Every structure is written in structure tokens, then in C-alpha cells.
Structure 1
Amino acid sequence: MFAKLVELGGFGVEAAVTLTRNGLLGPVPPAALARVVEAYRHFHVTPAAGVAIAAARWPDRTAVVDEAGSLTFGELDARAAGLAAELRRRYAVGPGRTVAVMWPNDRGFPLAIAAVSRLGADLLLLNTGLAGPRLRELLTREGVDVLIAAPDLPPVDFAGPRVSDLDALAAAGLATGSAAEPPRRPGRLVLLTSGTTGTPKGAPRRLSLAELAEPFVSMLSTVPLRGGEPMLIAPPLFHGLGLLWYGAALVLGCPVVLLRRFDADAVLDALAVERAAALVAVPVMLRRLLDRPPRRLPELRVVVSGGSALPPGLAAAFMDAYGEVVYNLYGSTEAGWAALATPAELRAAPGTVGRPPRGATVRVAGPDGAEQPPGEVGRVLVSGGLTFTGAADGLLPTGDLGHRGPDGLLFIDGRDDDMIVSGGENVFPQEVENLLAGRPGVADVAVLGVPDEEYGQRLAAYVVPDPDAPPTADDLRKAVKTELAAYKVPRDVVFVEALPRNQTGKVDRTRLLEQVTG
């Protein structure tokens, strides 16, 4: 890795300074360095390489903390090697085969993905909430040969083997002392899109160090993470946001704190007990944390929000409670990481998603594909080291519409397919949603476009009221008319008990509409 940074010329100097400051670069004993080189040569840029390299450098440092206790990097790597040997021996897992992993946030997830990637098989990460026909369709469509699923998940209609007892298999592999032969090339990593409006689709990646170096170093130069500091990752690791930061934690040798289910009190307790310096969360999780009395968390310096739009008022409220710690990450499963906003930028330009990392490109394109001037809305296109295989002409449409401010900061106005035309005016539901989310008495809100016989489309706001001080529909309509425009006022304001969300925190629009229409 370090040699590759040198090849990048002037950027190599910047990278060396950044990585030294973050504690990644430093003296490495010759024997450990040899194991680092061998791990990269065998496993390339994969979870297996990340665990093996961390084990070579910091074998006795904690790798994972969960409800069952903790594992060191050395223990995690040894178990992954044992599990890989048994997966190879019993189920012929290897190049050309696809293994799906369906596991919640505990030690089983990093163990499973490290073992599978040791074997060069394609790795498909499944949402633990999938079930029934949709899950069967996915397993068939993606050509899954072996399913690794947590034992407490429901039965799965799958013709192939289902593997659940990872500890027993890892122990059996370690007992035999046999090791699976390293693959000649890495398998693909396949992430699923969120599937909030339909069946999730696979987004395959095969990563390289050269592609990842610039955006990774750019992230570390912006976000003040240091090697060895605990990081609590609250979103599912099968989701791009959780997986991205798990990869960063591996590279930095950071202990990862995992909870199988999100609970605001449990998260706050874990942050305090483990003295975590970083928290990764989706916006709805930050909202739930703010519902609890603020805790004293002096070690918490970084809170990364991503996975869905961060309402400006929520970012400000969280920083008012916990300090200038919020970083807003913009990206998607297909596009990877596209932009990052710092706390200072979120204060100065509420609602911004920041700027692209070095090595990535973001274009706000008009109808002719050319860059839009500041203030003009266009399609957001991205490219960079984390963009998934299949981006045409180097630029991938995110499906979002956005604009740049006069200082170059990026703002997302909404999804391309969410924008509605009501009475001849273009309306972006997210703008109205952000405003309503900051109104007194609004605990949660989603704004959607729905068909309208007279205007073609109209806005509908679905509001979860604060039971102690609920707003009225007229209050909310008046706020939109006063602060935005009359044509942006939702015709429908529907009060609901809760908004249905998927496990990555996004509103499930299909379920919401089914819920309110009966």
C-alpha cells in the first residue's frame, strides 16, 4: 500500500502526512511487514486482506466488541482462516461460486465476509429483513450457491446449503490445521440497493488499491479519526454506509462496536462504556438519540450521518447537544461515496452534502449533459474509486437532482423520480420535508408526490406528531406557505403513528402508501 502511494507522486506526500497524523503510518517490525505484504498479495483489496493485515500489525488489539464480548484481530483472523477451510472442504466454496451472507451486526458478520473473501468466491450481502418471494427471487437471480444466515433468522426457501454455526465450523477448521489455498484473483463484492420502491438489485464491485487510495486519504484528511480509537457502527454492515466505515476501521485498526438491533439507550451506553471516538448512524438514528437526555461523551469527536437525507435542523440540533461533530456523507450503493460535509459547512450552509473527495468527480448536469451554473438544478452524476462496476463513460447517474451553491458546496434537491409537476410548477418533496422536519411538534415526516386529477400531481405530507405538543395541519401548511411558496404547500397533511422504514433508515414509500390507503 505504501509503495502504491509513492507511485502517486505529490499525492503520496500528502497521503504520508495524513496517514502519519491518523496513526496508520509508523514503524512496523520486519516480520509483521512481511505478513502485511503477503496478506495483500494473497487477498488483494478484500475483507480478508483487511483482517489479515490488521492481525499482522496489531494481533492483540480488539477488533470487534458485541453483546458476546470481544475478539482481537489475531483471533478474528484465525477464526476466518478456520471457517474458510471448512467452507472449502464441505461446500466447495471458491472462485466461480457465489456465497450470500445474511447476518446482523455482531462478530458473525466480519467473520463470515473475511472467510468467504479468503476463498475468492463472489460475496453477496443480504438485508436481514428480506423474506418470502422477494428473498427467493434474489437468491435465484444472483445465482447463490451457499447461504450463510444467522440461526435466529426465519427459515429460507433455498435449495442449497444454509450455514449458521460459524463458531463450530471455524473451530473444526482450526483443529484440522488445514488452510484453504489463496485465490488467484479476488471475488466480487455485491451490495444490494435499498429496494424501497421495488425489488433490491445487486451492485457488484471489484476494488483496487489504486482506485481507493485517493478517496480514502481524502476522507481521513477531513474526518479526524485516529488509529485504534473505538468506532460504533449502528447501521447494518450489509449496507454500503456500514460496510464503508467497517473497511475504514479495519485499515486504521479501530475496534468496532456492534449492536444487533438499534436501541438509543443501548447506543448511548455503549458509546460511554467503550469510550468511542466515532459513531456512524443514519439520520433517523440521530433523531432517536436526541429523544433521550443528552449524555456526557467527551471522547466522541466524529458522528458520520449517511444513508438518507440529513435534515438541516437535525444536524444543528445534534451539534447543539454533542458539539461540532457531525459529518454528512452523501452517496449510494451504486455510486459509493460521492461527497462529505464538515461540521463547519453544515453550520454555514445547512442542508449541504459538502464536496467530493479527492479522486472523485461530481457533476450537476443540465439537459445537454454540461455542468449547470451555481443555483441551477440538474442531474447529479458521479465517478470515483468507489463507484460500482458498470458506470457508463466514467460517470454514474445517482438518480438525484441537485445544485451547487456559490462556493461550490453541493445540495441535493430530491430524487429525479420524486420531483413532481403540480399546476405547471416543479416541486421537490425533500425541500418541503426538510422544512416540516424542523417545525415544533413534528417527530417525523415524509413528503411524497401523489396523483391529482386537477393538477396532475400534488404533495402529501405524512407526519408523526409529538404527542406532548402536536401541530395542526393548518400550522404546517402555513409554515410552508410563509417560508417556501404557496405552490409548495402540501394539499394533504396526514397524521400517522409511525413511518415505515427499512433497516437502513429510509422511508419505505410502498408500505407507507399501503398503510394510509388501507
Structure 2
Amino acid sequence: ASRKQPDTLDPAAALLSKIPLRARDSTTIAAPLFHSWGFAHFTLGLALSSTIVLRRKFDPEATLSLSAQHRCQTLVVVPVMLQRILELPRDTIERYDLSALRVIAASGSALPGELAIKVMDTFGDVLYNLYGSTEVAWVTIATPEDLRAAPGTAGRPPRGTILKLLDEQGKEVAAGDTGRIFVTNEMLFEGYTGGGNKDVIDGLMSTGDVGHLDRGGRLFVDGRDDDMIVSGGENVFPREVEDLLADHPKVDEAAVVGVPDEKFGQRLKAYVVTRGKASISEGDLKAHVKSNLANYKVPREIVFLKELPRNATGKVLKRELEAGEDQ
């Protein structure tokens, strides 16, 4: 994807309007530098004359150790790194003095609400979550106040950003209703190098996701617009089921996909990683979903795995899970 060089410092001002980064701070960048999130903080850190702390390979305890050693005010991560850090024993986490930490900046994949609360309960209300993509740069940023008030939110648009949720006819949807996410800012890309572009309506570009706004104007991302599962004529966005499964005290993480079904067109199949040595049955998890969601959102099958396949930025590789259906 190609993007023109911004003519002003407004893009940096947009980020700084939500995330309180300061000049000459020390910053640990655990997020990979080949990803736009890590690289953006590296370049922003140079502009702010920051001290940048890097490590060749992510290790949760080493990240805490380096941040404490250099009295870092900022830690830049992808959400799965936060999960790995919190899996450390409590006494290991408390071994490191992170009192200087003012900002934990997360992006790159979905940040579950339960994880956000655990991070803030452990390190204080210093967590900021940016939702965006390579094509549109950023869409919204959730502050600690947002995450406390509405765990799981992606936040509100920063300065200079316009966000709209549109239906299939290009009309704005009401608060609480699901729509396609469109955005405009100064950092929209100019198109893929191999040709092609994202959908654009009235100057706003599609992120490829769907979501809804609460009454406070906070965005919730419900999933990819092409991830929707149609089962028996009912629309299901996997994110809702995944978050509910992950909220179970014996579940570490979950992924939900749609698989072919002769009767219903598609059925839901869940892949679950249990927490530690916890044991739970498929029936118990189905009952957990059924007690909170409509029957058509209950997975027909649940497969237990040791871990979910992920890319370098922590996104679950659902295509690898789906590919297993053909083997």
C-alpha cells in the first residue's frame, strides 16, 4: 500500500491529542518494527527525541525488566503481548518497578475488554488502545477512561478524524445498530501497489470492518464485514461469541469460524484454549453461551487447542483453522 507524505504535523497531533506521549521520554517498543504500529512509534519517538528501548525477540519478563531498568514512561505492544505478560506469576510482575510507566499503547489486533481491565488493575489506568489499519492508519483511540466505562471499546476518533457507520445503501445507522465502518483522516492510503483500492463513499474509506456506536459515541468493532456467519438465515458476528467464551474463567482465548452445513448453510465452530491446567467440557461451554446469547449463536462444535495460530502482530489466523476443515 502506498501513502503520500503528510504536509503538516497534524497526524502526530491527532495521536498526541489522545495518547499523552512527551518529548524525551523513554519508550520500550515491544511491537514488531516491520508492522506499522511499531514503526509509527519508532518514528514518532525519534521526532520527540525519545530514548527507544528495543529487543530482538519478545519475551514477557525481559520486556518488564528492560522497562524497569530504563525507567520507561511508555510501553508499545500488540494485545497478545499483554496477555503473555499477565500470564507471568504475580510475584514475577511485582519484582519490577514500573512506577514510571504512564502509557501502555496497544494496537494491531482486537483488545478484549476483560484483558484491558486486568492490565489496568495490574499497572494502573495507563492503557490506550488504537484501532486502525494499514489502509486508513487510525480510526479511534480508547483512553483508560473509555476502557473503564466500556471495556472492549475501540474508543472515539482523535482530532481531525471523521468516523461514520453506514448501511448497505450508504446511509448512516443509528447508535447501537451495526454498520460498515468508514473513516477519513490525513493518512488514508492511495491504493494497493498491485492495483485496487478500498470502498470510498463521500470521501470516507471503508476499513473492511463492521461495528456499532454506544450512546457515548464510543466505537465497538463487531468483526470483519466478510467474517459474518449466516446460519439458518441469522447473521452472527464471531467476535461476540469469542468474547463471551474468553470471559469464562476457565478459558484463555477462543476463535469462532463458520463451516459448511447442509441444513443451515453454515454452522458455528469454536476453537478454545483453556486457562492453565483448567478443565471444562464442550457441553459446559455451550451452556455458557446459551445462557447469554440466542440459540443460533451457540457453537455446534468446540475444539480444544493448546494455542491459536497467530501472525507476528498477534492476529488469529482463522484461515489456518478453516483450512483444517478441508484436511
Normalising by structure 1, report the TM-score.
Answer: 0.59
For 1:349, the equivalent position in structure 2 comes to 150
Residue of 393, 398, 410 corresponding to 2:207 = 398
For 2:228 and 2:33, locate their aligned partners in 1 and report how far apart those are by CA, in whole Å: 30
Is 2:70 aligned against 1:269?
no
For 1:376, the equivalent position in structure 2 comes to 177
1:273 Cα deviation from its structure 2 partner = 0.9
Alignment of 1:420-499 (within 5 A): 420-499=229-308
Residue of 17, 29, 45 corresponding to 1:249 = 45
For 1:208 and 1:501, locate their aligned partners in 2 and report how far apart those are by CA, in whole Å: 32
For 2:275 and 2:217, locate their aligned partners in 1 and report how far apart those are by CA, in whole Å: 37
Is 2:208 aligned against 1:410?
no
For 1:509, the equivalent position in structure 2 comes to 318
1:516 Cα deviation from its structure 2 partner = 6.6
Q: Secondary structure at the match of 2:322?
A: helix
Contact 1:284-1:505 within 8 A present in 2 as well: yes
Contact 1:215-1:357 within 8 A present in 2 as well: no
Normalising by structure 2, report the TM-score.
Answer: 0.92
1:394 Cα deviation from its structure 2 partner = 2.5
Contact 2:259-2:322 within 8 A present in 1 as well: no
User: Structure 1: where are the runs of 5+ without partners?
Assistant: 1-202
Could you give the per-residue CA deviations for residues 291-323 of structure 1, whole angstroms, max 9, x where no partner exists? 013334101111111111111100011111111
Residues 517 and 499 (structure 1 numbering): CA distance in 2 closer, same or farther, change over 3 Å? Answer: farther
For 1:282 and 1:368, locate their aligned partners in 2 and report how far apart those are by CA, in whole Å: 34
For 1:486 and 1:411, locate their aligned partners in 2 and report how far apart those are by CA, in whole Å: 23
Residue of 121, 125, 128 corresponding to 1:320 = 121
For 1:209, the equivalent position in structure 2 comes to 7
Q: Secondary structure at the match of 1:374?
A: coil
Greater strand fraction, Structure 1 or Structure 2: 2
For 2:98, the equivalent position in structure 1 comes to 297
Is 2:34 aligned against 1:225?
no
1:436 Cα deviation from its structure 2 partner = 1.3
For 1:234 and 1:402, locate their aligned partners in 2 and report how far apart those are by CA, in whole Å: 28
Q: Secondary structure at the match of 1:280?
A: strand
1:515 Cα deviation from its structure 2 partner = 4.8
| Higher RCO (C-alpha under 8 Å, 6+ residues apart) | 2
1:446 Cα deviation from its structure 2 partner = 1.2
Alignment of 1:126-205 (within 5 A): 203-205=1-3
For 1:331, the equivalent position in structure 2 comes to 132
1:517 Cα deviation from its structure 2 partner = 5.8
Which amino acid in the other structure matches residue 4 of structure 2? R
Q: Secondary structure at the match of 1:414?
A: strand
Is 2:33 aligned against 1:237?
yes
Percent of pairs with identical residues: 50
Contact 2:17-2:158 within 8 A present in 1 as well: no
Which amino acid in the other structure matches residue 6 of structure 2? S
Alignment of 1:106-125 (within 5 A): none
Which amino acid in the other structure matches residue 481 of structure 1? K
Alignment of 1:1-80 (within 5 A): none
For 1:383 and 1:254, locate their aligned partners in 2 and report how far apart those are by CA, in whole Å: 29
Residue of 155, 165, 168 corresponding to 1:364 = 165
For 1:479 and 1:279, locate their aligned partners in 2 and report how far apart those are by CA, in whole Å: 35
For 2:27 and 2:293, locate their aligned partners in 1 and report how far apart those are by CA, in whole Å: 39
